[in-house]
Amino acid sequence: MTVHNADVARIFDRLADLLEIEGANPFRVRAYRDAARIVGDLPNEVSALMAAGKDLSELHGIGKDLGGKIEELVQTGRLTALEEAERRVPEGLLELLSLGPLGPKRVKTLYDRLDIKGVDDLAAAAKAGKIHDLRGFGPKMEARLLDALAHHVKEEPRLLLASVEAVAQDLVQRLGRARGVGKVIVAGSYRRRKETVGDLDLLVTAAGSDVMDRLVAFEEVAEILGHGRTRSTVRLRSGLQVDVRVVPEESYGAALHYFTGSKAHNIRVRGMGVERGLKINEYGVFKGDAQIAGRTEEEVYAQVGLPYIEPELRENRGEFEAAQDGRLPRLITLADIRGDLHAHTTETNGRATLEEMAEGARAKGYKYLAITDHSQRVSMARGLDAKRLARQIKAIDRLNERLDGIVILKGIEVDILEDGSLDLPDAILKELDLRVCSVHYSLNLSSEKQTERIIRAMDNRYCDIIGHPTGRLLNKRAGFDLDLERVMRAALERGCFLEVNAQPERLDLNDAHCKMAKELGLKLAISTDAHSVANLELMRFGIDQARRGWLEPADVLNTRSWPQLKRLLRRA
């Protein structure tokens, strides 16, 4: 059994929950939660790092103890400390934590005072009216618990960034029309452009506004979780939670910084403030009682001796060290993109014709668009065999004669078969400008086999770019097991490249993988995998992911002109 980073993260979070219920030192609990996040965010599997002889305690936030616990987990698949905690704390208490109204302290109180060990015990006690007499509880809490028990549902999964944009912009528009409102902006992980968001954090600048009353009165509000003067929380009918914070104009920068997060980033900034005798909160930077900064985010960073740090970098993944050394990246923007290297047409499973896709790309100002329809193995999409591909090549040649200002690249998304061979003969692949090679089947090979398979594919001189390299579908399917560092090193040796697929449910390579590629010196393509003209607009989500992965224009293939890009391809 292989222990993945996600397993380590889940187990540390579970142990943190148990320790919290026991009333452990909160900083110790935080250390476990930090470690869960750190391991969960790593681009390499910890098992691979260990196999390579790396000392895990070199990771900032992982010390000797936690490093040892990770090793125990990887080697044995078990964690003694967790098993001991599970013996001390009844399992059902964890479910109580997920109930909503209850935190670790109240769960412990219920257990200590009423011997409540799970939801069934809690339901019985609440119905018997035993809860409201406990210190720290009351009739309202008892009612909330009964309600929560009746509607106990699994937590909403985090939503795709792309799927919340419309509602976010709608809320911005409507809150902006409230009396006395200045700025309205979406902060939180939405502003950091994380691939999924758990809720929406809206920041409003205003003085004496009715904006909160407007918010809670919106017809799509299903539940009001909090309604204060400066902070309100509602849940929409869609299940999406929305937090709104109101601050005065002079606090805008400090508040934006604070509500943008991430939490780990903010803790570091505030800690740097403490070192300088400053207090940093959402209202500003304070020396004693005097506000000395906070109108802009730049002011906040300047007070702790840092340049402005882009929201996408604010994850405490090295941005502070880079900022101090003057090594912050000049992040890529959508405007740097000159073309798209992965797109489909009606010839396979696209919804637009070759001509329509070409016109769509030209209208965007692109200089090139690669048509990369599926190969024969993808029979569901009526993938191309050599004969049909040859016809498409001719059609593209004819189209290019008519087109002005853009060149359509002859390409293919050729399947990587289970043995690592490509799904079409070299004789036809060599007629193309560009070949994207992707895995669509046999996703559940061992890491070793999957890695070998992809490296074998790259051994073929006609393999240019590995499409959606991990095959993950957000909220649906984890990526397949793969040693991406080995794949990247192999790509470098062979002159191949990897893709950042901009489809909102793919977005692989992910942010950490992008950063790993950059550090290895491997350039990436950012491609939409468009199946329609409208899909060409998805490029910006790929850009978001690339920015979170620290990529600069030079790190990306399709910031180049076609002649420049052609020279980078080994078959050119």
Partner DNA sequence: GCCGTTTTCGGCCCGACTGTTTTCAGTCG
Q: Is residue 214 involved in binding DNA (CB under 7 A)?
A: no
Which span sits near DNA by CB under 7 A: 278-286, 325-333, 384-392, 423-431? 278-286
Q: Is 304 exposed, middle or buried (0-12, 13-18, 19+ CB in 10 A)?
A: buried
Pull the structure tokens for residue 199: 């809720």
Does residue 32 bind DNA (CB under 7 A)? yes
Q: Which of 13, 50, 94, 230 binds DNA (CB under 7 A)?
A: 230
Contact positions with DNA (CB under 7 A) in 115-134: 132
Spatial CB neighbours of 151, under 8 Å, sequence gap ≥ 6: none
Does 297 bind DNA (CB under 7 A)? Our answer is no
Task: Evaluate the CA torsion angle 165, 170, 176, 179 in order and state its sign.
Answer: negative
Output the furthest CA–CA distance in the chain (Å, rounded).
Answer: 83
Q: Binding mask 415-434 vs DNA (x if CB under 7 A, - otherwise)?
A: --------------------
Nearer Cβ to DNA (137/368): 137
State the minimum distance, in angstroms, from the CB of residue 157 to DNA. 15
Minimum CB separation of residue 282 from DNA in Å reads: 6
Q: Pick the piece of the chain touching DNA (CB under 7 A) from 275-283, 336-344, 486-494, 547-555.
A: 275-283
d(CA 82, CA 64): 17
Which of 51, 54, 65, 169 forms a contact with DNA (CB under 7 A)?
A: 65
Distance CA 200, CA 195 (A): 13
What does the block give as tokens for 446? 């061992």
Q: Are strands 465-466 and 279-281 parallel, antiparallel or unpaired?
A: unpaired
**Residue 354 token pair:** 């070759």
Q: How many of the other CB atoms lie within 10 Å of CB of 128?
A: 9
When binding is defined by CB under 7 A, the residue of 67, 294, 383, 420 that contacts DNA is 67
From 55-63, 403-411, 433-441, 464-472, span contacting DNA (CB under 7 A): 55-63
Is 334 one of the binding residues for DNA (CB under 7 A)? no
Q: Identify residues 170-209 at the interface with DNA (CB under 7 A).
A: 188, 199, 201
Beta bridge partners of 236: 221
- Residue 124: CB minimum distance to DNA, A: 19
Give least dist CB 313 to DNA, A: 19
Tokens 């993260």 found at: 9
> Looking at beta carbons only, is 63 or 180 nearer to DNA?
63
Distance CA 346, CA 357 (A): 10
Percentages helix, strand, coil for the chain (3-state, rounded to 5) are: 45, 15, 35
Distances (CA, A) of 384 to 148, 389, 395, 413, 434: 53, 6, 14, 10, 15
Number of residues that bind DNA (CB under 7 A): 62
- Choose which of 57, 163, 296, 421 interacts with DNA (CB under 7 A): 57
Q: What is the DSSP letter of 476?
A: T
Q: What CA–CA distances, in Å, run from 363 to 340, 359, 373, 526, 536?
A: 13, 6, 21, 19, 11
Q: Report the first-to-last Cα separation within the chain, whole angstroms.
A: 44
Nearer to DNA, 224 or 380 (CB): 224
Instruction: Tell which residue, 161, 192, 187, has the closest CA to residue 172.
Output: 187
The reply to whether 319 sits near DNA by the rule CB under 7 A is no
- Pick one of 135, 151, 402, 476: the residue that binds DNA (CB under 7 A): 135
Which residue, among 541, 484, 547, 548, has the nearest Cα to 517 in the 3D structure? 484
Query: 297-305 long-range contacts, Cβ below 8 Å, gap at least 24?
Result: 297/253, 297/254, 297/256, 297/257, 298/253, 299/253, 299/254, 300/253, 300/254, 300/257, 300/269, 301/257, 301/269, 303/273, 303/276, 303/278, 304/269, 304/272, 304/273, 304/276, 304/278, 304/280, 305/272, 305/276
Stretch that binds DNA, among 56-64, 412-420, 441-449, 491-499 (CB under 7 A): 56-64
Binding mask 138-157 for DNA (x = CB under 7 A): xxxxx-x-------------
When asked if residue 227 is in the footprint of DNA (CB under 7 A), the reply is yes
Which CB, 251 or 438, lies closer to DNA? 251
**Which pairs with CB-CB distance under 8 Å and at least 24 residues apart come from 376-379?**
376/415, 376/423, 376/424, 377/415, 377/417, 377/423, 377/440, 377/441, 378/348, 378/349, 378/415, 378/440
Q: How far is the CB of 8 from DNA (least distance, A)?
A: 13
What is the CB-side half-sphere exposure of residue 535 using CA atoms within 13 A?
Answer: 24
User: Whole-number minimum distance, CB 143 to DNA, in Å?
Assistant: 8
> Which of the 8 DSSP states describes residue 530?
B
Residue 311 in contact with DNA, rule: CB under 7 A: no
Interacting stretch for DNA, rule CB under 7 A, among 62-70, 506-514, 537-545, 549-557?
62-70
* 103/563 with CB nearer DNA: 103
Taking the C-alpha atoms of residue 302 and residue 285, their distance in angstroms, rounded to an integer, is 10
Q: Of 281-289, 326-334, 510-518, 553-561, which part binds DNA (CB under 7 A)?
A: 281-289
Taking CB under 7 A as the criterion, the residue among 6, 28, 78, 441 binding DNA is 28
Site for DNA in 252-271 (CB under 7 A): 259, 263, 266-267, 270-271
Which of residues 17, 243, 336, 433 is near DNA by CB under 7 A? Answer: 243
Question: According to the binding rule CB under 7 A, does residue 12 interact with DNA?
Answer: no
Task: Name the segment binding DNA (CB under 7 A); options: 111-119, 273-281, 295-303, 312-320.
Answer: 273-281
Site track 73-112 with DNA (rule: CB under 7 A), x = hit: --------x------------------x-xxxxxx-----
Q: Which residues bind DNA (CB under 7 A)?
A: 25, 27-28, 30-32, 35, 57, 59-67, 81, 100, 102-107, 132, 135-142, 144, 188, 199, 201, 226-233, 241, 243, 259, 263, 266-267, 270-271, 273-275, 279-283
